[in-house]
Amino acid sequence: MSTLHADEAFLEHYQLTHDPFAPRVPGFKFFPAQRKPVLGQLHHLARYSQLMLAVTGPMGSGKTLLRQALVASTNKQSVQSVVVSARGASDAASVLGQVAQSLGVAQAEVQAILKQVVQLALTGQEVYLLVDDAEQLDESALQALLELAAGVAEGRPHVFLFGEPSLIAGLEELNADGERFHVIELAPYSEEETREYLEQRLDGAGRGIEVFTREQIVDIHENSDGWPGNINQVARDTLIEAMIASRTTAKRPSMGFKMPKKHVLALSAVVVVAVGAAVLMPKKGDKAPAEAPAAQAQLPLGQGGNGGAPAIEFSGSSQPMPLPLVGQSQPVMREPLAEAAGMGEGEEGGPAGNTALQPAAPSAAVPPTVTTIAPPAGATASPAPTPAQPVATAPAQSVAPVTKPVATQPVKSVAPAKPAAAPTQVASAKPAAKPAAGGAGNSSWYAGQKPGNYVVQIFGTSSEASAQSFVKAQGGDYRYFKKNLQGKPLYVVTYGNFANRDAAAAAIKNLPAKVQAGKPWPRTVGSVQQELATAR
């Protein structure tokens, strides 16, 4: 199913106008009560503090939304906001180049930028310098931003860094001279805020919070740790799981087990052969008409009891009739044929020349001289060979009665070429079904799994090198894939492949302690496949 069709099915199932949990939904802004004091604190510190301000939180914690709110809540006439990104521009030259361009400064240097800031201050304008993805800044860029934040006596810009917690370590290494920055750590949503967030997301897509049960909301909050980005992912996974479960239940047959079509056909063939054999089998005491010898043929089927082999009768016809459904009757005929050839239990069927049904015509398995051997005296009165008697010791008895064309068609039908090839096909199929080992962004592995299966999401990071090193260190069933989160690449590490959610949850308890510390959670392979398709 293509991504478009998968999204359409998801939206149609829940009657949504758009995906409510997409990373970026136009016009959506959720600002919980706990973030309002943080916004007020940023404005207060920008006015009265001389320190650089660093806002930290994990990916998907709402840093970008807070940065947007900060810009939107400033007085545009008295504040000029300069927003730069450290993604792909992490060194001092790149960062200063973005700032200089926004302020109309010819030279991308600290002193030249500060000079322009002083000029703006004389006109009553302040400068807010806001840096997204600040965890990617290198040492030279952090040093340059600290110098800008310190400013000069006449003026300075107010510098705000928005990044992941790893940003703090880089700042502390440069803080040997004293306190030069202040850190504000964002807090996750409470359970009630998570519910309000879900409700507002769903409301914008034309549905209400009733699509989730109370237990599902609690589960979403616990598995996401209250971070908005994780809430989106877990909530979407929950809806997809419920959709798959409802469709599986709807497709499940109401009565019994539905046998595959090919098995039904094979079983039908067996029944037809059995019924045909029963109808054509002469009853006890019946004798074949002596006046029509050409209408009968003796076929030794390994039934040799007390000297009388069963005959297949062709009534009222001088032409041979084919056995019913001979092409599909191999499973039924194979065992008696093996017994008639004197084979032991468990032996594979050999070529047709080793059976009692071999025609008089020459073949690779039977020497042509078999057809020219004249039956010894009294051969017509001798019984067919019994299962314990090897055919090779009495060629005249087993071949002479089958000199008519009536046996030429059944011989071709019992050749066990197809059953003999089956083990080779099965053996070649097993390696293809084995899942690939964990490795470098094996997106094709996820695409080849059942959507209803589960994997355990370990963590997500904006650094592919971090994901690669973790997978390489852990090995085994660890692997990662690339997705988009709020327009930025995110590398998600997963573990295992499980048939259901309970098995995935049980596997989490057996993971190493340091892996469990990141609070991994189970998710469907189908949700991963949709993210992979969206990221293309």
443-535 carries CATH number 3.30.70.1070: yes
One fold for both 35-185 and 443-535?
no
Encode 130-193 in three state secondary structure. EEECHHHCCHHHHHHHHHHHHCECCECCEEEEEECCHHHHHHHHCCCCCCCEEEEECCCCCHHH
According to DSSP, the residues that pair with 410 across neighbouring strands are: none
Instruction: Write out the chain's pLDDT in tens, 536 residues.
Output: 444 445 667 788 888 888 888 877 777 778 888 888 999 999 898 888 888 999 999 888 889 889 989 999 999 889 999 999 898 788 999 999 999 999 999 999 999 999 999 999 999 899 999 999 999 999 999 999 999 998 888 889 999 999 998 888 888 888 766 678 899 999 999 999 999 999 999 998 888 999 999 999 999 999 999 999 899 989 988 998 888 888 776 555 544 445 565 555 666 666 666 766 666 665 555 544 444 444 444 444 444 444 444 444 444 444 454 544 444 444 444 343 334 344 444 333 444 344 333 444 444 444 444 444 444 444 444 444 444 444 444 443 444 444 444 444 444 444 444 444 443 333 333 333 333 344 446 788 888 899 889 999 998 888 888 888 888 888 888 999 988 776 778 888 999 999 998 899 899 988 888 788 777 888 889 888 888 887 76
Q: How far apart are CA 158 and CA 182, in angstroms?
A: 12
Total residues found in the chain within this entry = 536
Please tell me the predicted confidence (pLDDT) of residue 256.
47
Please list, residue by residue across 13-49, b when 16 or more beta carbons sit within 10 angstroms of its beta carbon and e when fewer do. ebebeebbbbbeeeeeebebeebeebeeebeebbeee
* CA-CA-CA-CA dihedral for 184, 226, 236, 480, to nearest 10: 70
Measure the CA–CA gap between 25 and 259, rounded to whole angstroms.
46
Q: Residue 48 corresponds to which amino acid? A: Y
SS3 content of the chain, % helix, strand, coil (to 5): 50, 15, 40
Residue 503: predicted pLDDT: 92
Counting beta carbons within 10 angstroms of the beta carbon of residue 394, is it exposed (0 to 12), middle (13 to 18) or buried (19 or more)? middle
Helix axes 110-122, 139-150, angle to 10 degrees: 30
Q: Which residue ranges make up each domain of the chain? A: 35-185, 193-252, 297-414, 443-535
Per the CB < 8 A criterion, the answer to whether 60 and 229 are in contact is yes
Alpha-carbon distance of 109 to 117, in angstroms, equals 12
CA angle 178, 179, 185 (to 5 degrees): 145
pLDDT of residue 501: 87
Could you identify the residue written with the tokens 């609690």?
218
Count CB-CB contacts under 10 A for residue 2. Answer: 8
Structure tokens at 327: 């092409």
Q: Report pLDDT for 340.
A: 39
Quickly tell me which residue has 């040997």 as its tokens. Answer: 176
* pLDDT in the model for residue 132: 92
Q: Enter the pTM of the model.
A: 0.50
Token digits for 319? 């032409």
CATH topology of domain 35-185: Rossmann fold (3.40.50)
- Between CA 117 and CA 103 the distance in angstroms is 8
